[in-house]
Amino acid sequence: MKAILFLEDGFYLNGNSFGFAGETTGEVVFNTSMTGYQEILTDPSYKGQIVCMTYPLIGNYGINAHDVESSTVRVEGFIIKEQSGIVSNWRAEKSLDEYLKENKIVAIEGIDTRALTRHLRTKGAMKGIISTVDFNPDSLKQKLSKVPTIAGVDLVKDVSCTKPYEWKEDLGLRRLTPAKKNAFTVVVLDCGVKFSILRNLKELTEKVMVVPAKTSLEEILKLKPDGIVLSNGPGDPQAVSYVIKTTQEIIGKLKNKEIKAAIMGICLGHQMLGLAFGGRAQKLKFGHHGGNHPVKDLATGKIDITAQNHNFVIPPETIPAAAGLMETHTNLYDHTPEGSRHTHLPIMSVQFHPESGPGPFDARYLFSQFITMIKGVA
């Protein structure tokens, strides 16, 4: 079946439909990972976006029930160069095409993903539409004009859990080396948390509690946390005012020594901390999405190859110096900020994804650093 990808600036490519037939809209971005398409499809941070994979052949190892990062597929649409004609893996339970059909995800293949990536890299991420029913450019452009951008939109409310729950699964077969669990309770504020983050935390701590993003600090403290994690999530951090407010309350209680807990922010959580300390958000031209981004630790000079998925950053120069938040990591592609740490409060955060789901394991040690920080205040 024929399909078309049309961008808001008039750029379009014709291809073939796979997955669910129909029409879908979203902000079109590209991901540079070579593998991990199932984790990418289920990453809540992609809510509101259509993802283009730059690697040309996708789907060769199929889909299974275990390599998911949330309870359902989160992308708005999917773009690839070529769907694999075979599925060959002992863990595979179904094909990518079947999986997309089950989850009603509209996708397109057979287009020049190199041309699309170059266009987005030059022009920036923009709204797009995939359609198998409408091929009229004027009609598609009109439809896109009515679609809001992700800037200023609260997408967290669409992916956060609705009630608290305890996470039970550790890394299991994903484990590199055995780890000793610590008798700590970590509370995760769910802005769209990935399961791999929860698995890494459970690997190191006895109890991991996940609470909705709108949970009040009072309710969080009832769980007696030794650590609090502000999770990853989709979209514009400035639109999620309720999480920023909760983060400011946590900081205030830490300053007044009213609570004893360490704080870790990941991706959107890192941005929330920056905003809570007085910073301002800035939208990147085409975002950072992939598993091969070099990040430098400014204290040690060590370079980690990291997984990334974000569209906004908090420039360090927008955060008041009096806030006491110092930059700890920088992206070697474009020198955007990738981490921060407070000078005297037990607060650390990173813009990239240390959980490696998918991606390299270089930065997993940051979870151990968080546990060490908890021990320092326990």
Could you give the residue numbers annotated as active site? 267, 353, 355
Distance in angstroms (rounded) separating the CA atoms of residues 229 and 198: 10
**Nearest C-alpha neighbor of 346 from the set 307, 317, 375:** 375
- Any residues with CB less than 8 A from the CB of 104 and at least 6 apart, and which? 20, 22
**Nearest C-alpha neighbor of 255 from the set 328, 347, 184:** 347
Distance in angstroms (rounded) separating the CA atoms of residues 282 and 319: 12
**Nearest C-alpha neighbor of 45 from the set 8, 79, 80, 70:** 70
**Nearest C-alpha neighbor of 154 from the set 237, 268, 35:** 237
- Any residues with CB less than 8 A from the CB of 276 and at least 6 apart, and which? 244, 247, 248, 251
What distance separates the 2 farthest-apart alpha carbons in the chain?
A: 63
**Nearest C-alpha neighbor of 193 from the set 68, 343, 9:** 68
